Amino acid sequence: MGYKSVCLDCHKSYSLGTDFENMRESACPQCGKRMVLLNHKFRPPKLESKQWEVVKILVENGFKYQRIFSKHDDGKLYAVDYPVTLKEAKEFISLYKSQAFKETNYRQP
Ligand SMILES: [Zn+2]
């Protein structure tokens, strides 16, 4: 368990461990912009990967790799996998926007 502090500009992520008392968003050591806190389940893509565009659009829409659930026909809730492509991400955002964080801390400076 724990959180990752991620810079969406430098494509870097830093593990913050489990010190929930001191959990806060900090500035990127590389570019100085504010980093976003993402769930520990987040797996950072490779540095040059197009995957970062998907991460960015998800975070901007309030999806910080928290668990998202889908209700199936049997009435049970199932955890949904996060999307991989930009097209899937757009569908994901419109399907699950009710579960997104209302206020994202991510802002362009
Ligand atoms: Zn940075």
Identify the residue whose tokens are 């959180």: 3
pLDDT tens digits, residue range 48-100? 999 999 999 999 999 999 999 999 999 999 999 999 999 999 999 999 999 99
Cα(46) to centroid of ligand 1, in Å? 15
Q: How far is the CA of 41 from the centre of ligand 1 (A)?
A: 20
* CA 24 / ligand 1 centre spacing (Å): 16
Tokens matching residue 19? 């010190």
How far apart are the C-alpha atoms of 29 and 109, rounded to whole Å?
Answer: 16
| pLDDT bucket at 26, cuts 50 / 70 / 90 | confident
Burial code of 72-106, b = ≥16 C-beta within 10 A, e = fewer? eeeeeeeeeebbeeeeebeebbeebeeebeeeeeb
pLDDT score for 32:
94
Using the mean position of ligand 1's atoms as its centre, give its distance from the Cα of residue 2 in Å. 20
Q: What would the mean pLDDT of 30-37 be, rounded to a whole number? A: 92
Q: Find the mean pLDDT for residues 4-21.
A: 82
